[in-house]
């Protein structure tokens, strides 16, 4: 069945707030057993809406969801069951489209989600990023699914993201993300692309992602969950990635187990770090996006990847020498057919009590060019990766690495 939001009072004039009307259409669709909620023929402003079981939110080619510029339209929810909200990144659950413990949900269509990001930032002055968030009340994520099963996100275009993640897939199973476009401002902070956390059986394919922060993130931060979950069986293929931060990022501080993932047939441009498997340290204070376990990352494959205009490291596998960096192991990572051109060469650096083992390079080419051959990367991504030329050659420390048919080209 089709539930047209206009039949529930939605007005597509780009200024009327339609949250209640669209929510009513979603609720009635779910209560009837499921179907398609249709967004078409207009621009419909919304605050937070909640998807339900068996509901497909379909944004037709002539339809647009426009996020409200008012932070108050994305309230913190007190009825969330699946996560402990105060342990979420930014310590809150605010978002635009939310689903919790749902089955058979979809966002589809050739239409657009306009995130009104221009309303949530301001000039930052002489800083490592030219813009910053206007306040802590900006929606932390656009789409936030947690504890869901059988999820599809197809064809939709998302533009003008604020300082918040585009898609957060958190403790979900059986997820397909395909043919979507993420077109965010490269100079806006924290507007990540697809963030896959503590989830299983996730496929990302044929997507075009352009954003200021990391394009695709795979993590196992279980701090907000009742029990620890493994992040595994994630495949990313046939995507183009443009970022002023990372192309692919795997892991972060005190993540749990991340294993059995593949990343193939990717083209990356303008990244600060192309592929990052980085376990950072910290000071005495807990970070908002920090996990609670010793990290184990194993059995990852990266193949057929082209990187151009990399402003720092094409591959960065690094364990900080910090007591708050809890690492069990990083092992069995394969890089096959990676072709990179940028300011640095790969860095593989473990720790005495956490050696990086089983790193294999095959049929790769890494070309290091001078800064004059790349545009100025001063405002690219994380300040710690500024393309400053700290490493003049490949860095390998506390790691077991093998090379087969792999070339390193420098101008020096």
- CATH no. for residue 179? 2.160.20.10
Residue 160 placed within a domain: yes
Residue 35 placed within a domain: yes
Residue 157 placed within a domain: yes
Our separate counts of H helices and E strands in the chain read 1, 35
pLDDT tens for the chain, 412 residues long, are 999 999 999 999 999 999 999 999 999 999 999 999 999 999 999 999 999 999 999 999 999 999 999 989 999 999 999 999 999 998 999 999 999 999 999 999 999 999 998 888 888 765 566 788 776 667 889 999 999 999 999 999 999 998 789 999 999 999 999 999 999 988 888 889 999 999 999 999 999 999 989 999 999 999 999 999 999 999 999 999 999 889 999 999 999 999 999 999 999 999 989 999 999 999 999 999 999 999 999 999 999 999 998 888 999 999 999 999 999 999 999 999 999 998 889 999 999 999 899 999 999 999 998 776 666 555 555 444 444 445 567 999 999 999 999 999 987 6
- Pairing mode, strands 131-133 and 121-123: antiparallel
Residue 336 placed within a domain: no
Contact, 44 vs 5, CB < 8 A?
yes
Residue 137 placed within a domain: yes
**H-helix or E-strand spanning residue 408:** strand 407-410
Rg of the chain (C-alpha set): 21
What total number of domains does the chain contain? 1
Residue 145 placed within a domain: yes
Burial 300-338 (b: 16+ CB within 10 A, else e): bbbbbbbbbbbbbbbbbbbbbeeebbbbebbbbbbbbbb
- C-alpha distances (whole Å) from 215 to each of 4, 104, 249 are 33, 25, 8
pTM of the full predicted structure? Answer: 0.95
Name which of 97, 60, 98 is nearest 82 in CA terms.
98
Residue 402 placed within a domain: no
Q: Which two tokens stand for residue 279?
A: 């376990």
Contact, 103 vs 147, CB < 8 A?
no
Contact, 36 vs 154, CB < 8 A?
no
Q: Which two tokens stand for residue 347?
A: 């860095």
- What region does 387 belong to: left with phi over 0, alpha with psi -120 to 50, or beta? left
Residue 316 placed within a domain: no
DSSP state of 286: P
Q: Which structural domain range is residue 131 located in?
A: 1-75+93-213
Separation CA 188–CA 209 (nearest Å) = 14
Q: Which residues contact 120 (CB under 8 A, 6 or more apart)?
A: 69, 71, 133, 134, 138, 139, 162, 163, 164
77: burial class by Cβ within 10 Å (0-12, 13-18, 19+)? middle
Q: What are phi and psi of 223, to 5 degrees?
A: -60, -30
Separation CA 165–CA 195 (nearest Å) = 7
């Amino acid at each position: 069945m089709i539930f047209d939001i206009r039949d529930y009072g939605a007005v597509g004039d780009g200024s009327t707030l339609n949250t209640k009307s669209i929510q009513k259409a979603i609720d009635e669709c779910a209560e009837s057993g499921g179907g398609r909620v249709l967004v078409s023929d207009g621009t419909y402003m919304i605050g937070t809406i909640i998807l339900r079981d068996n509901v497909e939110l379909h944004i037709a080619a002539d339809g647009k969801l426009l996020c409200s510029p008012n932070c108050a339209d994305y309230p913190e929810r007190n009825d969330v069951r699946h996560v402990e909200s105060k342990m979420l990144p930014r310590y809150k659950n605010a978002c635009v489209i939310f689903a919790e413990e749902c089955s058979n949900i979809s966002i589809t269509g050739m239409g657009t989600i306009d995130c009104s990001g221009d309303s949530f930032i301001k000039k930052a002055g002489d800083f490592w990023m030219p813009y910053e968030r206007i306040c802590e009340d900006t929606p932390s994520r656009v789409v936030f699914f947690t504890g869901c099963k059988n999820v599809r996100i197809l064809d939709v275009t998302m533009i003008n993201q604020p300082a918040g993640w585009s898609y957060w897939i958190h403790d979900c199973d059986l997820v397909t993300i395909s043919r979507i476009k993420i077109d965010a401002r490269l100079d806006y902070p924290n507007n990540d692309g697809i963030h896959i956390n503590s989830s299983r059986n996730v496929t990302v394919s044929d997507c075009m992602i352009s954003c200021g922060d990391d394009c695709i993130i795979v993590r196992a931060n279980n701090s907000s969950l009742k029990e620890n979950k493994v992040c595994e069986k994630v495949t990313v293929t046939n995507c183009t990635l443009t970022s002023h931060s990372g192309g692919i990022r795997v892991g972060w501080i005190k993540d749990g187990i991340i294993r059995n993932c593949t990343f193939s047939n990717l083209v990356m441009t303008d990244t600060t770090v192309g592929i990052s498997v980085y376990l950072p340290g910290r000071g005495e204070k807990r970070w908002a996006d920090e996990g609670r376990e010793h990290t184990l990352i194993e059995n990852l494959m990266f193949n057929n990847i082209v990187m151009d205009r990399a402003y720092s490291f094409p591959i960065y596998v690094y364990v900080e020498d910090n007591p708050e960096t809890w690492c069990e192991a990083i092992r069995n990572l394969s890089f096959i057919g990676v072709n990179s051109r940028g300011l640095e060469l790969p860095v593989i650096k473990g720790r005495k009590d956490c050696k990086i083992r089983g790193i294999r390079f095959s049929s790769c080419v890494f070309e290091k060019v001078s800064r004059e051959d790349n545009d100025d990367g001063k405002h690219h991504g994380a300040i710690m990766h500024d393309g400053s030329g700290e490493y003049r050659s490949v860095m390998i420390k506390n790691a077991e690495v093998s090379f087969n048919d792999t070339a390193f080209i420098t101008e020096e």
